Amino acid sequence: MTKVYLTAQFPEVALKQLRDNHLDVESYTGAGLISHEELLAKAATADFLITTLSTFVDQEIIDAAPKLKLIANFGAGFNNIDSAYAKEKGILVTNTPKVSTNSVAELTLSLILALSHRMVEGDQQMRTVGFPGWAPLYFLGHEITGKTLGIFGLGSIGSEVARKAGSLGMKVSYFSPHRLASADEAALDVTYQSFDDLVKSSDFISINAPLTPETKHQFNAETFKQMKSTAAIINVGRGPILDEAALLQALQAKEIGGAALDVYENEPQVDHGFTTLKNVILTPHIGNATVEARNAMADIVAGNVVLMAKGQDPKYVVNK
């Protein structure tokens, strides 16, 4: 019987689809993340793997899986998988693009608003020292209307962030390796800038790009020195795009105004220094953590397994 191994507990919509198609389904149910050793053992008999972004599938795992035909990754990213080596071995790798676009864009704008109005800081104050009473200069934040949002990476998520930010009255600029056609820029009401100009002119910078060798540590000590001292940076893309040590130093030195991080350079570890700063918001990689987005992602990974089990081509192959 065709065996499917899931490296975490997934939404029921995935399990139902797999079982309805008479596949042998087994899921990791342990505490925390699956260990490399356990994945090695389970991959040895699997025809299909359904993995998460926190599951690292390296050459050793692939070599231990002689029957493996597909690694269906639960997420738009796939840098946790050695997809090039999988291709050498005739194993397809798929991802789940597009379906988390709205959820991640909503979180991005939520973090911008929360930073601007000091919502998390205010909540912490109410839970500790309390509210001393209303006063004209008490706990002032900033409105985002009229502020400039610089988007690094104008793919599907970045474009949706631009739409939502524009509806809130923000001026939106962007930098991407490939510039949009003028008609598309006009439709989104965005302005293209060089990376340096984007960094210097933005009140908020939203990182919505994928992790590549070129984007790793794109934001570093030199970048933070170029930013406005009042500017904030939001990372919902990939952790290593930011040099976190340099970011922490810039925040501590008040070179920039604040930061909101949903992804981390050494995820799931977070530098303790960030937790001591009032102008930093930390969320546990919840960009697409909505019932709607996760169900749609589950439908894709299970659907790709079913397609291949039936001898058909899966969708969203990233290593053709």
Catalogue the active-site residues. Answer: 238, 267, 285
Amino acid letter for position 307: L
For residues 201 and 203, give the distance between their C-alpha atoms in angstroms, rounded to a whole number: 7
| Three-state secondary structure readout of the chain | CCEEEECCCCCHHHHHHHHHCCCEEEECCCCCCCCHHHHHHHHCCCCEEEEECCCCECHHHHHCCCCCCEEEEECCCCCCECHHHHHHCCCEEECCCCCCHHHHHHHHHHHHHHHHCCHHHHHHHHHCCCCCCCCCCCCCCCCCCCCEEEEECCCHHHHHHHHHHHHCCCEEEEECCCCCCHHHHHHHCEEECCHHHHHHHCCEEEECCCCCCCCCCCECHHHHHHCCCCCEEEECCCHHHECHHHHHHHHHCCCCCEEEECCCCCCCCCCHHHHCCCCEEECCCCCCCCHHHHHHHHHHHHHHHHHHHCCCCCCCECCC
For residues 305 and 94, give the distance between their C-alpha atoms in angstroms, rounded to a whole number: 10
Residues 314/29, Cβ–Cβ less than 8 Å: no
Residues 7/49, Cβ–Cβ less than 8 Å: yes
Tokens for 249?
Answer: 């130093």
